[in-house]
């Protein structure tokens, strides 16, 4: 009999920057579901990809001095490499710049015009649009801010193709009524229902002003609205062409069983997407599943806010399973959760190293030492078990397994993990009570010893199977150390039965799967690697403490942008300006970096300088020289660390106009991120810095050149 199919997708991620722990969260969650479903006998298709069109990609490329295609080519590789590093078991990857995708998008709209001739029409549009979230903020030209990121919407005034969303209100409400599982969790479903009940406006699905996109069929002056383009990836990625000439994969896997995503993009998936599909006469996805946000430093982790943690250093220091375990265990799925590297390392040591890792290596070592490395015979009838045995076995009953499987099915990952780790704790307790090390010293109690070690080994097998979707690497290794052959991925989790461990099996060499780490050292290694990602070539000691001769922040050579801006007074070619941002302390404490006497204009042009207005300033705990300054640079408020505490009291700075270097790679000092530099002169005899400012009135964000 052929296996039932299951198709799950992540959102396709914007390829304007590299992925962070927040982007990895969705991909990891989907991977846990995909692995779990495969263990339940499903044939799983798992799609992810990159969203590569739109004005924010265009602008990011312009800023980086490359073409949009070069930018997305570079970033999509980083996404792919990360998924590989994280052991993500996707079966497909779609890029919206692929020809197969463009064809699918154009064909979807053609099909829509055929099936529902009234669904699409042309009209003049005037409104406000957020280029960062690709969202129509308001349908009037008056200034309005984006509901997601709070940035001001840009004025758009042009003729567009519109989708008659208003005509789908009743059909959508009917969909929600007839499919109460359509959106998880419920409270978010209710928000969507209220939104649709309050009336729907038609939406523009093409743009004339944007060049970087998929051309509208037979009207190439228009490109598709990025969300129409992006949503179609869920079908183009598995072989949708036009609904008539589709590949076997599409015929097999569509409709999607789960589209998973963060809460901010529910509306696109639960309102727009089903309406687009209804209009084209295509089957609808079965379920939209939305999780909350990972918060970092009290805000949504997001590149544009600069508060991101990267997954690669965590994997390099703690292994692949640690991040997966932590994200699923610590966050209640569906709600926002905090990310903290300290908490991650604490969990790693407590639950993984001291918990499962220690349990499995103890039991396996005892089998190696007391039973010649062979699983002992332990299959004795119930009456011979002590009360402790009976209670312990009860915890591994079919009912307990069902509870854990139900938790996986219902997206209760933290609950599933908690129940599995309760099994780890009871196995530890079981050993403490039964004391196999004492039994081993008494030949008369050999049977008892074998029974205890069999039960302990079988409990580890159970735990390995149940925990596999979350921590696939370590459980596979435990599986092999237990002498089991084949891939744990192929074991049926829903057919797990106590007693299937075969006595007489030769075990492998017991090896720790989660070595304990020193918290401080692990943290330092992670932070150093993160700084290196933010600012390649920066992995020297922290600028605020170093006294070595080190180039200023971001300067790999003296002629680089930041190096130029940071030339202290007196250095060859320097004026009276010094940067007092991320390299401030370095400027104060270190000799001048080597710079050539002259630089070309092209070097200077690399430095982006803007007028900033200081919103607030405060001291940084544990750093005498540093102030944390929040500075408005027009389209955002940046956090900059400046080494000006000896020169200015924090309250003196509020409202002051300053010059900010805005295109410096972010850097951490004392665990606090700095996202830019303030310019200052540093030639006073008392060594104090004097901030550059403006005599005339000038608004925040204006370019300085």
Instruction: State the minimum distance, in angstroms, from the CB of residue 131 to ligand MSP.
Output: 13
C-alpha separations of 374 from 350, 502, 613 in Å: 29, 10, 72
CA distance readout (Å), 480 to 36, 279, 460, 506: 20, 52, 12, 10
Would you list the DSSP string of 87-122? T---SEEEETTSHHHHHHHHHHHHHHHHH-TTSEEE
**328 lies in the binding site for ligand MSP (CB under 6 A):** no
| Contact between residue 118 and residue 164 where contact means Cβ atoms under 8 Å apart | yes
Closest CB to ligand MSP among 301 and 584?
301
How near is the Cβ of 595 to ligand MSP at its closest, in Å?
Answer: 38
Nearer to ligand MSP, 22 or 376 (CB): 22
How far, CA to CA in Å, does 49 sit from each of 60, 97, 241? 19, 11, 17
Q: Least distance (Å) from ligand MSP to the CB of residue 139?
A: 22
Q: Can you state the angle between helices 68-85 and 311-318, rounded to 10 degrees?
A: 30
Positions 249 through 288 that interact with ligand MSP (CB under 6 A): 261-262, 265
Q: Which is nearer to ligand MSP, 52 or 246 (CB)?
A: 52
* Residue nearer to ligand MSP on the CB measure, 32 or 491: 32
Structure tokens at 504: 């007489």
Nearer to ligand MSP, 162 or 333 (CB): 333
- Please choose, out of 9-17, 79-87, 187-195, 397-405, the segment that lies near ligand MSP by the rule CB under 6 A: 9-17
User: What binding mask, one character per residue, do residues 174-213 give for ligand MSP by CB under 6 A, x or -?
Assistant: ----------------------------------------
- The reply to whether 97 sits near ligand MSP by the rule CB under 6 A is no
C-beta closer to ligand MSP: residue 132 or 348? 132
Write the binding mask 287 to 326 for ligand MSP: x where contact by CB under 6 A, - elsewhere. Answer: ------xx-----xxx------------------------
Binding residues for ligand MSP, rule CB under 6 A, total 20
Among 7, 8, 12, 642, binds ligand MSP (CB under 6 A): 12
Q: Which of 615, 597, 587 is nearest to 680 (CA)?
A: 587
DSSP 3-state assignment of 663?
coil
CB 623 within 8 A of CB 642: no
Q: Residue 9: enclosing H or E segment and its boundaries?
A: strand 5-9
Cβ proximity of 49 and 94 under 8 Å: yes
**Min CB(514)–ligand MSP separation in Å:** 25
By CB under 6 A, tell whether 25 contacts ligand MSP: yes
214 binds ligand MSP (CB under 6 A): no
The string over 4-27, giving b where at least 16 C-beta atoms fall within 10 Å of a residue's C-beta and e elsewhere, is eebbbbbbbbbbbbbbbbbbbbbb
Look at the block and give the residue holding tokens 């006294």.
Answer: 547
Residue 184 has, within 13 A of its CA and on its CB side, a CA count of: 18
Map the footprint of ligand MSP across residues 409-428, applying CB under 6 A.
Answer: none
Q: Which is nearer to ligand MSP, 261 or 275 (CB)?
A: 261
51 binds ligand MSP (CB under 6 A): yes
Residue 13 binds ligand MSP (CB under 6 A): yes
- C-beta nearest to ligand MSP: residue: 22
**Residue of 14, 36, 333, 411 interacting with ligand MSP (CB under 6 A):** 14
* 26 contributes a contact to ligand MSP by CB under 6 A: yes
Q: How many CB atoms lie within 10 A of CB 539?
A: 12
Measured distance CA(28)–CA(536) in Å, rounded: 26
Sign of CA dihedral 210, 211, 216, 222: positive
Choose one: 18-26, 157-165, 461-469, 481-489; the region binding ligand MSP (CB under 6 A): 18-26
Interacting residues with ligand MSP (CB under 6 A): 11-14, 22-23, 25-26, 51, 230-231, 233, 261-262, 265, 293-294, 300-302
């Amino acid at each position: 009999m052929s296996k039932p199919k299951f198709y799950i997708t992540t959102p396709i991620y914007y390829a304007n920057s590299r992925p962070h722990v927040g982007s990895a969260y969705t991909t990891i969650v989907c991977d846990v579901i995909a692995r779990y479903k495969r263990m339940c006998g499903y044939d799983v298709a798992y799609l992810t990809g990159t969203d590569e069109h739109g004005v924010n990609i265009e602008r990011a490329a312009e800023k980086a001095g490359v073409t949009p295609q070069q930018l997305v080519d570079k970033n999509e590789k980083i996404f792919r490499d990360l998924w590989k590093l994280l052991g993500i078991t996707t079966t497909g990857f779609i890029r919206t710049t692929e020809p197969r995708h463009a064809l699918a998008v154009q064909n979807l709209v053609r099909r829509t015009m055929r099936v529902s001739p009234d669904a699409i029409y042309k009209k003049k549009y005037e409104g406000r649009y957020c280029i960062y979230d690709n969202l129509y903020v308001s349908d009037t030209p008056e200034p309005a801010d984006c509901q997601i990121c709070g940035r001001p919407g840009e004025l758009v005034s042009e003729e567009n193709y519109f989708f008659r969303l208003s005509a789908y209100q009743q059909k959508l409400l009917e969909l929600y009524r007839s499919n109460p599982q359509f959106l998880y969790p419920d409270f978010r479903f209710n928000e969507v229902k209220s939104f649709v009940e309050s009336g729907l406006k038609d939406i523009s699905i093409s743009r004339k002003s944007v060049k970087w996109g998929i051309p509208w069929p037979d009207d190439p002056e228009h490109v598709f609205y990025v969300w129409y383009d992006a949503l179609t990836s869920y079908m183009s990625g598995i072989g949708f062409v036009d609904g008539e000439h589709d590949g076997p994969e599409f015929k097999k896997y569509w409709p999607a069983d789960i589209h998973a995503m963060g809460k901010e993009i529910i509306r696109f998936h639960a309102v727009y997407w089903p309406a687009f599909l209804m209009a084209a006469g295509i089957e609808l996805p079965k379920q939209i599943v939305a999780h909350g946000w990972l918060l970092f430093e009290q805000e949504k982790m997001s590149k544009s806010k600069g508060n991101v943690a990267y997954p690669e250093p965590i994997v390099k220091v703690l292994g692949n399973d640690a991040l997966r375990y932590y994200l699923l265990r610590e966050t209640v799925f569906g709600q926002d959760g905090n990310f903290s590297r300290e908490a991650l390392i604490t969990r790693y040591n407590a639950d993984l190293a001291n918990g499962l890792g220690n349990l499995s290596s103890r039991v396996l070592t005892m089998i190696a030492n007391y039973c010649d490395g062979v699983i002992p015979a332990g299959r004795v009838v119930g009456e011979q078990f002590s009360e402790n045995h009976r209670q312990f076995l009860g915890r591994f009953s079919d009912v307990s397994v069902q509870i854990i499987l139900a938790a996986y099915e219902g997206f209760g990952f933290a609950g599933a993990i908690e129940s599995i780790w309760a099994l780890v704790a009871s196995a530890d307790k079981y050993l403490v009570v039964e004391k196999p090390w004492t039994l081993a010293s008494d030949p008369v109690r050999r049977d008892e010893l074998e029974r205890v070690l069999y039960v302990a080994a079988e409990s580890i097998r159970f735990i390995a199977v149940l925990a596999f979707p979350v921590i696939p690497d370590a459980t596979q290794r435990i599986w092999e150390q237990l002498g089991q052959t084949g891939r744990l991925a192929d074991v049926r989790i829903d057919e797990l039965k106590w007693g299937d461990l075969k006595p007489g099996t030769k075990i492998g060499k017991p090896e720790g799967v989660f070595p304990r780490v020193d918290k401080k050292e692990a943290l330092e290694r992670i932070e150093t690697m993160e700084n290196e990602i933010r600012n390649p070539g920066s992995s020297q000691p922290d600028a605020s403490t170093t006294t070595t001769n080190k180039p200023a922040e971001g300067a790999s050579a003296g002629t680089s942008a930041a190096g130029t801006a940071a030339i202290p007074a007196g250095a060859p070619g320097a004026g009276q300006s010094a940067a007092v941002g991320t390299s401030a302390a370095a400027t104060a404490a270190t000799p001048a970096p080597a710079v050539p006497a002259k630089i070309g204009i092209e070097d200077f042009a690399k430095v982006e300088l803007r007028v900033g207005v200081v919103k607030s300033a405060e001291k940084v705990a544990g750093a005498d020289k540093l102030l944390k300054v929040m500075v408005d640079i027009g389209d955002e408020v940046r956090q900059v660390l400046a080494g000006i505490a000896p020169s200015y009291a924090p309250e003196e700075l509020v409202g002051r106009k300053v010059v900010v270097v805005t295109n410096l790679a972010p850097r951490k000092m004392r665990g606090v991120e700095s996202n830019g530099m303030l310019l200052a002169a540093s030639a006073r005899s008392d060594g104090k810095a004097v901030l550059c400012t403006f005599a005339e009135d000038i608004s925040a964000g204006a370019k300085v050149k």
